[in-house]
Amino acid sequence: MLPLKILHIIWSTEMGGISKVVLHLCEEQQKDHELQISVYCAKGKSALFESFEKKGISIFAGQFKGALQISFSSYKECKLLMAKFDLIHFHSYNPLLAFAAKQSGKKIIYTEHGNFGIGRKKKLNDLIVRWMQKQFLNKSIDAISFNSEFTKSTSIHRFGLSRPIKEVIYNGVPVNLNSAHSTNQFRKSENEFLIVAIGRLAQVKRFDRLLTTISKIESSNLRLIIMGTGPEEISLKKQVYDLKITDKVSFVGQGNSLQLLQESNLCVIPSQGEAFGLVAIEAYQKGKQVLVFEDGGGVTEIVKQLEPHSVIKTESELGDLVTSLIQEPIEQNATKMSARKSYAAQFSMQVMSSKIKNLYLSN
């Protein structure tokens, strides 16, 4: 039996959640002899492109510049490429790529990763692309998956999605048992209570409300480390300065998030309306507690299933809970840490890959 030839479509290989999920999914799919995996990166080569190559994943670089780019040569190139595959798996939408896939006559699977741009002002081009995407998702694809119930409900509200097969498939996270060392790279002392917040410094992450909370907690041994970069970095650093908490908050840029989680006492994900939270699963792999807001979106689903008391409503409630955790003896957490590690195992890349394959084989 010949392997099923899959072409994954991604917009870019920049250091974002979608690129990482697709990279790890392709790596897992390569282990399946019934699948033959390739990737098309529309925007060309960027940060993670070499990572795909080093994993032995066949990856093609496009020359797309924007969503409404019209290029006959790019269309022809994509259509010829798609003709070599049995199934096209989209991880982002582009009108020209979507048209090429439809014209290819191949089976089309779409994964909605929830990059909705919530809170961002929409331009005319955004509205045009959304309308075109709605037509594509309702008329041209065979099945669609979502990385959370939040993503599914938001997508249905935006696009209708009356016809295609719909399934929630939570993102898988690689098991990185050996990626953190025992040495203290981030911790200044054994006595400090180290809170970590990890992610792109973007509006949806709502690091601002975490900083406001930290400024109101009276504790001499509390420290917050924020790992990540992004467009909100300057404004967040200004907020730290204005709140007079420069001694409590450190920005460390990009780094080893697993090592930081290993050394932490607590992980806080203050996002609002985020599709999924890979950091939450990574924290649970280390046995760490994760706090999220009730309006967090997909990440709230993940935390609520395990520790509903870790889902909070207000900044004041967050402050009270952090204060109580600072006073909680560490030795009482052993059972909870074990339960979190077991829970994280449910979100393996093997489970995700198996469910995606079932979607490929669905009628």
CATH number, domain with residue 276: 3.40.50.2000
Q: Look at residue 103 and tell me if it is in a domain.
A: yes
34 lies in some domain: yes
- Cβ partners under 8 Å of residue 309, min gap 6: none
Clarify whether residues 50 and 148 are in a common domain.
yes
pLDDT band per the 50, 70, 90 thresholds, residue 329: low
Residue 13 CB neighbour total at 10 angstroms: 25
Closest CA relative to residue 151, chosen from 108, 204, 225, 103 = 204
Asked if 116 and 57 sit in the same domain, the reply is: yes
Domain span at 31: 4-172+348-361
Q: What is the pLDDT of residue 314?
A: 96
Output the CA–CA distances (angstroms, integers) from residue 317 to 83, 239, 290, 323, 330, in the order listed: 55, 21, 14, 10, 21
Determine, yes or no, domain membership for 321: yes
Same domain, 341 and 219: yes
Same domain, 335 and 240: yes
Query: Buried b vs exposed e over 255-284: b needs ≥16 C-beta within 10 Å?
Result: eebbbbbbbbbbbbbbbbbbbbbbbbbbbb
- Tokens 């005319």, residue located: 124
Q: Is the pTM of this model over 0.85?
A: yes
Instruction: Indicate whether 28 and 166 sit together in one domain.
Output: yes
Q: What are 16-74's pLDDT values in tens digits?
A: 678 889 999 999 999 999 999 999 999 888 888 999 999 999 999 988 877 677 778 88
Element (DSSP H or E) covering residue 267: strand 266-269
Bridge partner residues of 60 (DSSP) = 40
Query: Quick one: 163 and 214 in the same domain?
Result: no
Q: Please check whether residues 76 and 111 belong to one and the same domain.
A: yes
Whether the predicted pLDDT of 118 surpasses 70: no
- What is the DSSP track for 24-49? HHHHHHTT-TTEEEEEEETT---TTH
Please give the pLDDT value at position 37.
97
Q: Does 59 share its domain with 126?
A: yes
Tens of pLDDT, residue by residue over 257-312, are 999 999 999 999 999 998 988 899 999 999 999 999 999 999 999 999 999 999 99
**263 and 129 within one domain:** no
Report CA-CA distances (Å) from 219 to 156, 263, 288, 361.
45, 19, 20, 55
Is 78 among the domain residues? yes
- Any idea which residue has 């007079």 for tokens? 244
3-state secondary structure of 250: strand
Does 229 reside within a domain? Answer: yes
Whether 212 maps to a domain, the answer reads: yes
The total number of structural domains in the chain stands at: 2
Whether 173 contacts 278, CB under 8 Å: yes
Q: Which helix (H) or strand (E) holds 77?
A: helix 72-82
Phi, psi dihedral angles at 184 (to 5 degrees): -85, 100
**pLDDT higher than 70, residue 225:** yes
Residues 143 and 290 occupy one common structural domain: no
Residue 186 lies in a domain: no
pLDDT in tens, 165-209: 999 999 998 876 555 565 678 888 888 999 999 998 999 899 999
Residue 173: DSSP 8-state:
B
Answer for the pair 15, 50: CB distance below 8 angstroms, yes or no. no
Tell me, yes or no, whether 319 and 245 share the same domain: yes
pLDDT at 177: 52
* pLDDT-wise least confident of 51-60, 125-134, 323-332: 323-332
Structural domain includes residue 185: no
Residues 354 and 330 in one domain: no
Q: Torsion over CA of 91, 93, 99 and 104, rounded to 10 degrees?
A: 0
